[in-house]
Amino acid sequence: MVSVLAALMSLARFFKPIFDLVVKLLSWLFYAMMVMLAVASWVLKKARSGELTEELVKKIRLFLDKILGFEEDFEEGFEDTA
Protein backbone atom coordinates (compact mmCIF):
# COMPACT_ATOMS: atom_id res chain seq x y z
CA MET A 1 0.00 0.00 0.00
CA VAL A 2 2.78 2.41 0.89
CA SER A 3 4.63 1.63 -2.33
CA VAL A 4 1.47 2.37 -4.35
CA LEU A 5 1.11 5.75 -2.63
CA ALA A 6 4.77 6.51 -3.22
CA ALA A 7 4.39 5.62 -6.90
CA LEU A 8 1.33 7.85 -7.22
CA MET A 9 3.13 10.74 -5.53
CA SER A 10 6.12 10.42 -7.85
CA LEU A 11 3.77 10.38 -10.85
CA ALA A 12 2.03 13.48 -9.51
CA ARG A 13 5.40 15.25 -9.18
CA PHE A 14 6.23 14.27 -12.75
CA PHE A 15 2.91 15.39 -14.28
CA LYS A 16 2.39 18.61 -12.29
CA PRO A 17 4.62 20.82 -14.51
CA ILE A 18 2.95 19.40 -17.61
CA PHE A 19 -0.49 20.01 -16.14
CA ASP A 20 0.48 23.58 -15.15
CA LEU A 21 1.73 24.27 -18.67
CA VAL A 22 -1.50 22.97 -20.22
CA VAL A 23 -3.59 25.10 -17.86
CA LYS A 24 -1.56 28.22 -18.73
CA LEU A 25 -1.93 27.51 -22.44
CA LEU A 26 -5.68 27.01 -22.14
CA SER A 27 -6.11 30.19 -20.10
CA TRP A 28 -4.12 32.17 -22.70
CA LEU A 29 -6.27 30.71 -25.49
CA PHE A 30 -9.43 31.63 -23.58
CA TYR A 31 -8.11 35.18 -23.08
CA ALA A 32 -7.26 35.47 -26.79
CA MET A 33 -10.70 34.22 -27.80
CA MET A 34 -12.45 36.70 -25.50
CA VAL A 35 -10.40 39.62 -26.87
CA MET A 36 -11.09 38.59 -30.45
CA LEU A 37 -14.80 38.16 -29.72
CA ALA A 38 -15.01 41.62 -28.14
CA VAL A 39 -13.17 43.22 -31.07
CA ALA A 40 -15.31 41.34 -33.60
CA SER A 41 -18.56 42.50 -32.00
CA TRP A 42 -17.28 46.08 -31.89
CA VAL A 43 -16.22 45.90 -35.57
CA LEU A 44 -19.62 44.51 -36.59
CA LYS A 45 -21.35 47.31 -34.70
CA LYS A 46 -19.19 49.89 -36.53
CA ALA A 47 -19.79 48.17 -39.88
CA ARG A 48 -23.57 48.19 -39.41
CA SER A 49 -23.57 51.88 -38.58
CA GLY A 50 -21.34 52.66 -41.59
CA GLU A 51 -18.43 54.02 -39.54
CA LEU A 52 -15.91 51.35 -40.53
CA THR A 53 -13.07 52.98 -42.48
CA GLU A 54 -9.78 51.73 -43.85
CA GLU A 55 -7.88 53.63 -41.15
CA LEU A 56 -10.01 52.05 -38.43
CA VAL A 57 -9.34 48.58 -39.83
CA LYS A 58 -5.59 49.28 -39.71
CA LYS A 59 -5.87 50.39 -36.08
CA ILE A 60 -7.86 47.27 -35.18
CA ARG A 61 -5.25 45.03 -36.78
CA LEU A 62 -2.43 46.81 -34.94
CA PHE A 63 -4.34 46.49 -31.66
CA LEU A 64 -4.80 42.75 -32.17
CA ASP A 65 -1.13 42.47 -33.11
CA LYS A 66 -0.08 44.05 -29.81
CA ILE A 67 -2.60 42.20 -27.64
CA LEU A 68 -2.20 38.73 -29.11
CA GLY A 69 1.49 38.99 -30.01
CA PHE A 70 1.31 38.12 -33.69
CA GLU A 71 4.59 38.44 -35.59
CA GLU A 72 3.09 39.48 -38.92
CA ASP A 73 3.28 43.06 -40.07
CA PHE A 74 -0.36 43.88 -40.70
CA GLU A 75 0.41 47.21 -42.35
CA GLU A 76 2.13 45.53 -45.30
CA GLY A 77 -0.48 42.78 -45.53
CA PHE A 78 -3.31 45.30 -45.57
CA GLU A 79 -1.74 47.39 -48.34
CA ASP A 80 -1.24 44.27 -50.48
CA THR A 81 -4.91 43.30 -50.28
CA ALA A 82 -6.28 46.81 -50.89
3-state SS class at 50: coil
| 39/55 Cα distance (integer angstroms) | 15
* Sign of the Cα pseudo-torsion (77, 39, 34, 68, in order): positive
What domain count does the chain have? 1
Range of the domain at 42: 2-81
pLDDT digits (tens, 9 = 90+) for 23-57: 999 999 998 899 889 988 998 998 889 888 888 88
Q: How far apart are CA 73 and CA 17, in angstroms?
A: 34
Q: Is the per-residue pLDDT at 77 higher than 60?
A: no
58, 78 in Cβ contact below 8 A?
yes
pTM of the entire predicted model: 0.56
